[in-house]
Amino acid sequence: MTDVDGMPRAGDGSPVMIEHDGEHRTPVALPVARFDDPHLEPAARHPRRAELIVAFFLLVGIAGVAAFGGAYVENASTQALAVTFGVGLFGLGFGLTAWGKYLMPRGPFEEARHELRTSDSERQAMAAALVERTGVVVKRRKFLGGLLGAGFGIFGVVAAFPLLRSLGPLPGKLLFVTDWRKGSLLVDSGGRPVHKDDLQPGGIMTVFPNGFQNTDNGQAVDQTVLIRLQASGNIVTMPGRESWGPDGFVAYSKMCTHLGCPVGLYERLLEMLVCPCHQSMFKVRDGAVPTFGPAPRPLPQLPLTIDPDGYLRAQAGYDQPVGPGFWERNTSLKNGTPA
């Protein structure tokens, strides 16, 4: 039978499944809309007032967009273009949003539909069929399955190699010390000893401990920047370093304390060392204290001395680890080992 809304129903009044293009569907009656339906009422308590507000902002938006067009034609200033365009977009956007929020039907609207869930027996039958068919396929391809398993097994073992090898040996004390020792002769990259007359005031060069200038460690952690600030007299960068800067020379680690970049730029007039990577700046006369940039600590200073022949040597190694920080870093060293 068919009820008053045109929906086919069974004798007990329940909807009847109909078939359409091979699909079974349950017909759903659409309720007739009524003007007194509370779902169709706007959300605003005072719709007329909300309508006036929306109209006002839409008019403001229209005026703003029109003013923007005029300002653009007249080649007005960027400030005028920005203000008019912003007012236009704000007015239109606010008006449209308020219209949708306060003047549209409040709802909610729901459409009845039949249950889409399959029966338990159908789901169990499908699961059993999948398991059975998968088992048949695998059993028919035992050789390929074995090769696939062997491939995954070997891949898992080999994939662990880079991880285990990347860990490497424990660094021990290697991060704390360099190859600089008491009496180490300062040499350039070619191995030539550095004499006090090799640099004039304002001069700069990169030096290494003798014998380590061509080693990986020497090119990494041993590299030191040597600067001559003045022609004579000791340079005292901070208390306790009265004898570290003989005859106007100072030497600092070339590894930036931020990320280890080589601090190879020198602003002679400002007497500042500059890291080219992230622009950290270190005041040379004040113990290479960072005055700008992300470097968190001063560059470690190498204590210098001049031997009787006029060649520069190290009084001792660095008194603290060079380069960026690490988990077990201490501020200073004692007798060449972490304090």
67 and 132 part of one domain: no
Q: Tell me the per-residue pLDDT of 31-43, one tens digit each, with 9 for 90 and over.
A: 555 656 666 777 7
Q: What is the CATH number of the domain that holds 289?
A: 2.102.10.10
Instruction: Match 């491939």 to its residue by tokens.
Output: 151
Long-range (24+ apart) CB contacts under 8 A made by 304-308 are 304/186, 304/244, 304/245, 304/246, 304/249, 304/250, 304/251, 305/243, 305/246, 306/196, 306/246, 306/247, 306/249
Q: Tell me the per-residue pLDDT of 184-243, one tens digit each, with 9 for 90 and over.
A: 999 999 999 999 999 999 999 999 999 999 998 888 899 999 999 999 999 999 999 999
What's the number of domains the chain is made of? Answer: 3
pTM across the whole model: 0.52
Number of Cα atoms under 13 Å in the Cβ half of residue 16? 14
In a domain, 269, yes or no: yes
Residue 137 confidence (pLDDT): 60
In a domain, 211, yes or no: yes
Distances (CA, A) of 86 to 65, 70, 81, 97, 248: 9, 14, 8, 16, 62
Q: Which amino acid is at 167?
A: L
- Domain limits at 263? 186-338
Residue 9 confidence (pLDDT): 57
Residue 154 confidence (pLDDT): 85
Using DSSP, state whether 211 is helix, strand or coil: coil
- H helices of 229-312, in order, are none
What residues of the chain score a pLDDT lower than 50? 4-5, 332-339
153 and 265 part of one domain: no
327 and 207 part of one domain: yes
Residue 131 confidence (pLDDT): 77
97 and 142 part of one domain: no
